Structure 1
Amino acid sequence: MLRRIDKVLLEQENNLLKNDLDADYAALGEKLARSDVDIELLTQAAGKFQIAVPSWGTGTGGTRFARFPGEGEPRNIWEKLEDCAVINELSGCTDSVSPHFPWDKVSDFSELKEKADAYGIKWVSVNSNTFQDQTGQTASYKYGSLSNTQKASRELAIAHNLDCIEYGQKLGAKSLTVWVGDGSNHPGQQHFQRAFERYLASMEEIYKGLPDDWEMHIEHKMFEPAFYSTIIQDWGSNILAAMQLGPKCKSLVDLGHHAPNTNIEMIVSRLIQFKKLGGFHFNDSKYGDDDLDSGSLHPYQQFLIFNELVDAEYRQQEAFGPAYMLDQSHNVTDPAESLINSAIEVQRSYVKALIVDREKLYGYQDENDALMASLELKNAFNLDVSPILAMARLRKGAAIDPLAVYRKSNYRENMAKERPRDPNATGSGIV
């Protein structure tokens, strides 16, 4: 497999930490064994866990006012793929990339797939972009795309999504994620019902173009850039649309796309119950759609979400198999470092949720023993499972301490030399 991180360096760093890891792993194994939990089963599960990296997340994000590009950040999909490969080499749990079109469009998709194969990277859900006009575009998305009052704009948006499916097929992806910024900024600007009808009619045309083994995932967002009303503003509109479109259409949950203090884990449960949970965009937020590093602010909420996901696994619920992906914007950190750390934090929540004694929890719930039910979850959450995650990485040939190896490799400094920044690039923000 083609590698970007020196294998000798990685092994040297791992050898320095292995004895301590073995000791910590053995101690944790003894502690778990007292509760009849097999640490080896948890380590195997951690090793199998994978979460996709967004191609756009490898670059520096921005605010509405300014963007401060980092040194050596990728300038195209080839360089984004290179960074994604490094993230996977070190974390061991990010073996797939989600592309965004037309940003990541290339002239030869077979060549792109071959390069990804060489890195051991797969392609997952493709994302369409109808929230901004492209150079030479014949109709505008200023007043919406799939719900636009102008037929030409709707047809252009439909055609673009169908093109994305075609690109995804060439890469080996199996799903299309559709998010639109359609909505209104002033009361009375838009007829709510007619706009939703136009959206559904457009989505029906895209749905017809799905291959038999594909899914379409609808992503909702409460606001931005439409600040008064949004076409798919919450999970209610999301699931209504998904139910009308058909069994191959499901809802996608982005952790930042909810009103403050929303019970996201209950939404996840509802979507599982009605076989409409398509996948996740993991991130964190303080005020709104902040796209902060996963688990950086609300790790317990992330754990509670995985409690519902692991519960569905345990109960072997029908049509359950959500796709996991990070969706973050990195303004003050190295994107690769944030993605490595976030992937591990999501993996951490998954492993902790596996520790919960399901039958004991069900018993407390049936007996209405609120305190003991809560403590069953808290006991799992409070346990430090770092040795399990590190051992899973070691066994897969990844790094015991990924960030330390990344920094010692001088990868970012080397990329700064190979990828000189465009001196004419604007520092404008997202306006």
Structure 2
Amino acid sequence: MKYPISPDLVAEKNDQLTPDLQKDFDALGEQLERRGLNIQALTEQAEAFDIAVPSWGTGTGGTRFARFPGVGEPRNIFEKVEDCAVINQMSGCTSEISPHFPWDAVDDFTELKAHSDQYGLGWSSVNSNTFQDQPDQERSYKYGSLSHADAAVREQAVAHNLQVIEWGKQLGSKVLTVWVGDGSNHPGQQHFQRAFERYLASAKAIYQGLPNDWEMHIEHKMFEPAFYSTVIQDWGSNILAAMETGERCKSLVDLGHHAPNVNIEMIVSRLIQFKKLGGFHFNDSKYGDDDLDSGSLHPYQQFLIFNELVDAEHRKQEGFAPAYMLDQSHNVTDPIESLINSATEVQRSFIKALLVDRNALENYQNDNDAIMASNTLKAAFNTDVSPILAMARKNKNAAIDSLATYRASGYRQQAAKARPDTGGSRSGIV
């Protein structure tokens, strides 16, 4: 397998850190043993955890006002794959890429698949784009796509999604993710019910072209680019659309696409209960769809979400197999470093949720003992599982100290020389 960073460098850095890591690991193991938990089993689960990286996240993102690109940004999907390989080599838990089309479309998908294979990377959900116009596009999405009043525009948007499925099949994907920016900015601009009816008809047309072993994930967003109304604005419209569309159509939850203070973990529980949880786009936010690094602001909320996910696994709930993906793109950090950090923080929330004493929690819930139920969750959340995560990385030949090893490699500086700025990078989102 090909590695973008020298495995010898990773091994050298790991050798320096292993003695202290072993001491921390053993100490945590003794603590967890007193709680009836096996640190080796938890480490194996950490090793098995995986979350997909968004291809667009490897480039510097921006705001509606400006974008400040960094040096050595990937200029095409092949270079994005190389950066994703770095993220996986350092974190040990990001072995799949989620591409966005037509941004990542190529003439020869066999060549692209071979390129990712040599790095040991697979392909997660494929994402369509009908929220912006492309240079060769016949009809505009200015006033909507799948819900547009003009049938010809809707047909164009449906055709694009069907094309994305064909591209995804060549990469080995099994999931199509659909998000649209359709909505309105003025009262009276759009008939709410007719717009939703048109969306449902378009979604069903896409679903008809879905291979039998694929799923279709619908993503909702409360606002932006439409600020008065959005066609798929919350989990309610999301699950209604998924239920209307078909059994293999499910809801995708982006953590930044909700109103402030919404109880996202309860939404997750509801979607699990009705077998409609397709997956997650993990990120963090302060005001809206900020796409900040996962766990940077609300680590406890992220833990509570994983508490519901682990509970579903514990209860062996039917149809539970959500896909996990990062979805972030900001403009003040090295994207590789941010994605490494985010992947680690999501993995951290997963492992902490495994520490919850499920039997004790259920008994406290049945006894209406609010304080002890809450403290049971806090006991898991407040446990520092860093030695487990680091040992999992070591066992997978990833980097014990991911960021320090990445910086020591000089990868970004080398990329800057190999990828001179052309002013036309298609990475990141503005």
TM-score, normalization by structure 2? 0.99
Deviations 1:104-137 (A, max 9, x none): 0000101111111110000010000000111121
- Is residue 26 of structure 1 aligned with residue 22 of structure 2? no
Question: In the alignment, what sits opposite 1:214?
Answer: 214
Shift of 1:151: 1.1
Q: Does 1:62 align with 2:62?
A: yes
- Quote how far apart the aligned CAs of 1:425 are: 7.2
Q: How far apart, in 1, do the equivalents of 2:326 and 2:80 lie?
A: 15
- Tell me the distance in 2 between the aligned counterparts of 1:47 and 1:425: 34
Give the corresponding residue for 1:171.
171
Residue of structure 2 equivalent to 1:403: 403
Retained in 2: the 8 A contact 1:58–1:73? yes
- 1:95–1:121: 8 Å Cα contact kept in structure 2? yes
Q: In structure 1, how many angstroms separate the alpha carbons of the residues matched to 2:197 and 2:429?
A: 33
Match of 1:81 in 2: 81
Instruction: Give the Cα–Cα distance (whole angstroms) in 2 for the partners of residues 275 and 136 of structure 1.
Output: 39
Q: Is the 8 A contact 1:66 1:429 kept in 2?
A: no
Are the aligned partners of 2:75 and 2:425 in contact in 1 as well (CA < 8 Å)? no
Structure 1 residues 156 and 388, CA gap change in structure 2 (3 angstroms): same
1:375 aligns with 2:375: yes
Q: Over aligned residues, Cα RMSD in angstroms? A: 1.2
**Runs of 5+ consecutive residues of structure 1 not aligned to the other structure:** none
- The answer to whether the Cα contact below 8 Å between 2:185 and 2:226 also exists between their aligned partners in 1 is yes
The 1-side partners of 2:96 and 2:373 are apart by: 36
How far 1:167 sits from its partner (Å)?
0.3
Q: Deviations over 1:141-165 (max 9, x none)?
A: 0100000001111010000000000
Q: Tell me by how many angstroms 1:330 deviates.
A: 2.1
Is the 8 Å Cα contact of residues 56 and 429 (structure 2) preserved in structure 1? Answer: no
Work out whether residues 257 and 288 of structure 1, in 8 Å CA contact, stay in contact via their aligned partners in 2: yes
SS of the residue 2:390 aligns to: helix
- 1:282-431 aligned at under 5 Å gives the runs 282-423=282-423, 430=430
Is 1:92–2:92 an aligned residue pair?
A: yes
Partner of 1:253: 253
Q: AA paired with 2:205?
A: E
User: Partner of 1:102 in structure 2?
Assistant: 102
**Structure 1 contact 65–429 (Cα < 8 Å) conserved:** no
How many Å separate the matches in 1 of 2:386 and 2:296? 16
Q: Which residue of 2 aligns with 1:52?
A: 52
Query: Residue by residue, what CA displacement relative to the aligned partner does 1:14-57 show, whole Å, maximum 9, x if unpaired?
Result: 00000000000000000000111100110000000000000000
- Aligned equivalent of 1:141: 141
Change in 2 beyond 3 A, CA 1:230/1:423: closer
- Is residue 2:55 matched to residue 1:71? no
Give the residue type in structure 1 aligned to 2:339: L
Asked if the contact 1:64/1:429 (under 8 Å) is kept, the reply is no
TM-score by length of 1: 0.98
For the residue of structure 1 that corresponds to 2:107, the secondary structure is coil
Unpaired segments of 5 or more residues in structure 2?
A: none
**Other structure's SS at 2:216 match:** strand
How far, CA to CA, are the matches of 1:421 and 1:234 in structure 2? 39
Counting only pairs closer than 5 Å after superposition, residues 141-290 of structure 1 correspond to structure 2 as: 141-290=141-290
8 Å CA contact retained: 2:43, 2:392? yes
Say if 2:37 is the partner of 1:37.
Answer: yes
1:338 deviation in Å?
0.3
Contact 2:9 2:409 (C-alpha < 8 Å) held by counterparts: yes
Give how far 1:429 is off.
Answer: 8.8
Distance across 2 between alignment mates of 1:228 and 1:429: 23
Q: Distance in 2 between matches of 1:106 and 1:246?
A: 31
Moved over 6 A (4+): none
Q: Is contact 2:21–2:391 with CA below 8 Å preserved after alignment?
A: yes
Q: Percent identity?
A: 72
User: Aligned pair in 2 of structure 1 residues 398, 135: CA closer, same or farther (>3 Å)?
Assistant: same
Maintained 8 Å contact 2:60/2:429: no
Provide the rounded CA distance (Å) in 2 between the counterparts of 1:424 and 1:197. 39
- Other structure's SS at 1:176 match: strand
SS in 1 for 2:118: helix
* CA deviation profile, 1:178-226 (whole Å, cap 9, x unmatched): 0000000000000000000000001110000000000000000000001
1:12 equivalent in alignment to 2:12: yes
State the distance in 1 between where 2:135 and 2:329 align: 24
> Quick one: distance in 1 between partners of 2:320 and 2:295?
24
Cα 1:429/1:283, change in 2 over 3 Å: closer
Q: For residues 226 and 328 of structure 1, what CA distance do their matches in structure 2 show?
A: 20
Summarize deviations over 1:263-288 as a string: whole Å, max 9, x none. Answer: 00000000000000000000000001
In 2: Cα distance, 1:46 partner to 1:272 partner: 22
> Which amino acid in 2 is paired with 1:20?
D
1:177 counterpart SS class:
strand
The superposition leaves residues 208-249 of structure 1 with CA deviations (integer Å, 9 ceiling, x where unpaired) of 000000000000000000100000000000000000111110
For residues 244-267 of structure 1, give each alpha carbon's deviation from its aligned partner in whole angstroms, at most 9, with x where no partner exists: 111110000000000000000000
Aligned position for 1:115: 115
